[in-house]
């Protein structure tokens, strides 16, 4: 008896391939296929160009995905049902709006608490047209993404076995991100663009771009080009203003805001190549006494000239990025570096300030400069926990050291984003990258599986009021041990797991999620993103059959 139920469920296509799962939906079991003349009708007056382009991409995917259902016969046993199915003639897209129509790009970079991403999608089973509605073009874009995941391919037909479908969807959290580090190893622009495409398919909406770090300075900043001229790994491994424009525009058109980070005052050794006078303990050894990773070097935060330079440079970067958010970092400040630095000690003595008072001034000057560019500051957790400084009440805090610190950050009253290394770091578990350390492991061992991130509770240990401070979360990929060669498989599908956590909300069941995540992987591959395998294909085609107790 038990066996026959199991066999049956193994043969049925998994119900819905949607990822992330909509917050509310119903579906049936009626087969439906796209009409050979299927069209997407944009019923939006003065439709913005990025919405028109998004519709064109969605139509393209309907033709090129050709994803066969993940069942043993890949759809053969449904062939007759598919050939007899009613056909869907169209998807009509309409926007409810009183005011002017804004583009997806405008809506994607609006202040985070003002964005509207909800939509409704109806796919009837009776051969009448499907309808997508939203109050924002950003919502329409999310709905188009969902529509594109409904279909399989068999013998030239694009079909679903789940009509009628009714979806009413909106995200649980407004910040759903991915952090990319382009300093430890450089990624060409095309890799960033491909990553943005993949992010958009799972409704991620923030690329947190950790652009520069101690090892290299690939960002070409107008007025400060000497930083990248001397600090990039080579003349080609840079992001020019044109590159940044391209990335930012590509992201925005896909509903993604680009949050830039220029980490300060730590992680800045490379600035010494252009401006040695601003850097303390530059390349001091043994590096471990002066920094968490080589090379050591931090901005001379107590020095007024350094502080002016930093604020002006940050301001110049701020003009390159339209996002309202800007991260000044603030992680892993090494005290010994400053204790050993004669210049810093002299500055502190002259101003009669402690290290923390100097950091407070430094941060205020930088954040004030960014404020004049309309930016809201983003900082790593140390700026409210280890080295608490004066921060505007709208500052967004990224929790990275440990999920155990979330409650302490929330207790400071600041809005926060989950980025804890014990759940969301994609770079853990690959062994040590520091040399001469044969038994070494990554500092954040073990590997963070998709299941581990999926079961995270964003409001654990928080009061109801503190829970309101949680804006969302993100996966992060520090690039010491990754490069374009490994990028796709390192990010995907794990970042998709986090995408669903923060779109659909916590409490998901990994057993139920696995077949859908398999489908996300296979669909990513049809679209040119080399997502890693979750299981042997034998298991992917037999949902549940490889479960621990199956």
Ligand X SMILES: *[C@@H]1O[C@H](CO)[C@@H](O)[C@H](O)[C@H]1NC(C)=O
The footprint of ligand X (CB under 6 A) covers 15-16, 27-29, 96, 118-120, 133-135, 139, 162, 352, 393-394, 403-404, 406, 457, 460-461
* 412 in Cβ contact with 391 (< 8 Å): no
Report in angstroms how near the CB of residue 457 gets to ligand X at its nearest.
6
Q: How many CA atoms lie within 13 A of 524 on its CB side?
A: 29
Q: Which residues contact 383 (CB under 8 A, 6 or more apart)?
A: 330, 363, 389, 391, 397
Alpha carbon dihedral 328, 480, 503, 207, in 10-degree steps, equals: 50
Is-catalytic flag, 117?
A: no
Report in angstroms how near the CB of residue 404 gets to ligand X at its nearest.
5
Report in angstroms how near the CB of residue 135 gets to ligand X at its nearest.
4
Give Cα separations from 390 to 180, 232, 313, 412, 487 (angstroms).
28, 33, 21, 11, 37
Report in angstroms how near the CB of residue 365 gets to ligand X at its nearest.
20
Comparison of 120 and 344: residue with beta carbon closer to ligand X:
120
Comparison of 49 and 460: residue with beta carbon closer to ligand X:
460
Report in angstroms how near the CB of residue 94 gets to ligand X at its nearest.
11
Comparison of 357 and 532: residue with beta carbon closer to ligand X:
357
Q: Where are the extended beta strands (E) located within 370-528?
A: 376-380, 396-399, 415-418, 470-477
Report in angstroms how near the CB of residue 134 gets to ligand X at its nearest.
5
Give Cα separations from 61 to 151, 156, 160, 332 (angstroms).
10, 14, 15, 44
Distance between CA atoms of residues 91 and 150, nearest Å: 13
Give Cα separations from 509 to 394, 500, 514 (angstroms).
34, 11, 9
Comparison of 9 and 64: residue with beta carbon closer to ligand X:
9
Report in angstroms how near the CB of residue 290 gets to ligand X at its nearest.
27
Comparison of 16 and 309: residue with beta carbon closer to ligand X:
16
* 40 in Cβ contact with 63 (< 8 Å): no
Report in angstroms how near the CB of residue 300 gets to ligand X at its nearest.
20
Report in angstroms how near the CB of residue 181 gets to ligand X at its nearest.
24
Report in angstroms how near the CB of residue 357 gets to ligand X at its nearest.
8
Comparison of 150 and 244: residue with beta carbon closer to ligand X:
150
- The three-state (H, E, C) secondary structure of 69-125, written as one string: CCCCCCCHHHHHHHHHCEEEEEEEEEECCCCCCCCHHHHHCCCHHHCCCCEEEEECC
* 193 in Cβ contact with 163 (< 8 Å): no
Distance between CA atoms of residues 358 and 355, nearest Å: 5
Picking from 171, 178, 176, the residue whose alpha carbon sits closest to that of residue 475 is 178
Q: What are phi and psi of 500, to 5 degrees?
A: -70, -40
Comparison of 95 and 251: residue with beta carbon closer to ligand X:
95
CB-nearest residue to ligand X: 15
Comparison of 46 and 465: residue with beta carbon closer to ligand X:
465
Distance between CA atoms of residues 82 and 162, nearest Å: 12
Q: How many CA atoms lie within 13 A of 494 on its CB side?
A: 24
Total number of residues shown for the chain: 550
Picking from 374, 371, 428, 425, the residue whose alpha carbon sits closest to that of residue 398 is 425
Comparison of 285 and 461: residue with beta carbon closer to ligand X:
461
**Residue of 106, 229, 304, 332 marked catalytic:** 332
Comparison of 28 and 429: residue with beta carbon closer to ligand X:
28
Q: Which residue has the tokens 């069941």?
A: 509
Q: Which residues contact 304 (CB under 8 A, 6 or more apart)?
A: 347
Q: Which residues contact 193 (CB under 8 A, 6 or more apart)?
A: 246, 247, 250
Distance between CA atoms of residues 65 and 61, nearest Å: 5
Tokens in use for 345? 């000690």
Residues with catalytic function: 332
């Amino acid at each position: 008896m038990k066996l026959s139920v199991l066999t049956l469920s193994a043969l049925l296509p998994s119900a819905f391939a949607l990822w992330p799962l909509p917050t509310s939906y119903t579906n049936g079991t009626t087969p439906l296929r796209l009409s050979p003349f299927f069209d997407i009708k944009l019923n939006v007056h003065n439709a913005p160009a990025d919405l028109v382009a998004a519709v064109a991409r969605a139509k393209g995917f309907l033709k090129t995905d050709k994803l066969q259902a993940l069942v043993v016969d890949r759809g053969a046993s449904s062939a007759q049902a598919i050939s007899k199915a009613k056909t869907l003639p169209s998807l009509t897209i309409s926007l409810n709006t009183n005011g002017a129509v804004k583009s997806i790009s405008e809506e994607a970079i609006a202040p985070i608490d003002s964005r509207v991403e909800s939509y409704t999608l109806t796919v009837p089973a009776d051969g009448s047209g499907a309808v997508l509605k939203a109050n924002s073009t950003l919502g329409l874009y999310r709905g188009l993404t969902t529509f594109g995941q409904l279909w399989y391919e068999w013998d030239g037909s694009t079909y679903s076995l789940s009509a009628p479908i009714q979806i009413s969807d909106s995200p649980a959290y407004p910040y759903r991100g991915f952090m990319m580090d382009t300093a430890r190893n450089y990624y060409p622009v095309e890799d960033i663009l491909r990553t943005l495409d993949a992010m958009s398919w799972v409704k991620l909406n923030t690329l947190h771009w950790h652009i520069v770090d101690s090892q290299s300075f690939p960002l070409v900043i107008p007025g400060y080009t000497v930083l990248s001229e001397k600090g990039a790994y080579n003349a080609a491994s840079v992001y020019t203003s044109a590159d940044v424009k391209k990335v930012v525009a590509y992201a925005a058109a896909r509903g993604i805001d680009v949050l830039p980070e220029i980490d300060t005052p730590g992680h800045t050794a490379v600035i010494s190549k252009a401006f040695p006078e601003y850097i303390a303990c530059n390349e001091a050894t043994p590096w471990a006494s002066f920094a968490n990773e080589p090379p050591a070097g931090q901005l001379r935060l107590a020095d007024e000239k350094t502080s002016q330079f930093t604020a002006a440079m940050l301001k110049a970067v701020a003009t390159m990025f339209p996002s309202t958010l800007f991260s000044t970092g603030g992680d892993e400040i090494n005290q010994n570096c400053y204790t050993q630095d004669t210049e810093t000690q002299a500055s502190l003595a002259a101003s009669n300030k402690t290290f923390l008072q100097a950091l407070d001034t430094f941060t205020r000057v930088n954040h004030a400069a960014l404020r004049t560019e309309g930016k809201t500051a983003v900082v790593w957790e140390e700026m409210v926990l280890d080295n608490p400084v004066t921060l505007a009440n709208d500052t967004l805090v990224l929790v990275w050291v440990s999920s155990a610190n979330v409650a302490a950050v929330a207790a400071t009253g600041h809005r926060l984003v989950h980025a804890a290394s014990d759940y969301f770091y994609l770079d853990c578990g690959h062994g040590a990258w520091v040399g001469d350390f044969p038994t070494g492991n990554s500092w954040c061992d073990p590997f963070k599986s998709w299941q581990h991130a999926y079961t995270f509770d964003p409001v654990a240990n928080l009061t109801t009021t503190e829970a309101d401070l949680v804006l969302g979360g993100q996966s992060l990929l520090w690039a010491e041990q990754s490069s374009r060669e490994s990028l796709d498989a390192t990010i995907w599908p794990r970042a998709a797991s986090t995408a669903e956590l923060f779109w659909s909300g916590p409490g998901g069941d990994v057993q139920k999620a696995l077949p859908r995540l398999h489908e996300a992987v296979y669909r990513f591959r049809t679209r040119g993103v080399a997502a890693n395998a979750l299981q042997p294909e034998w298991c992917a085609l037999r949902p549940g059959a490889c479960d621990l107790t199956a």
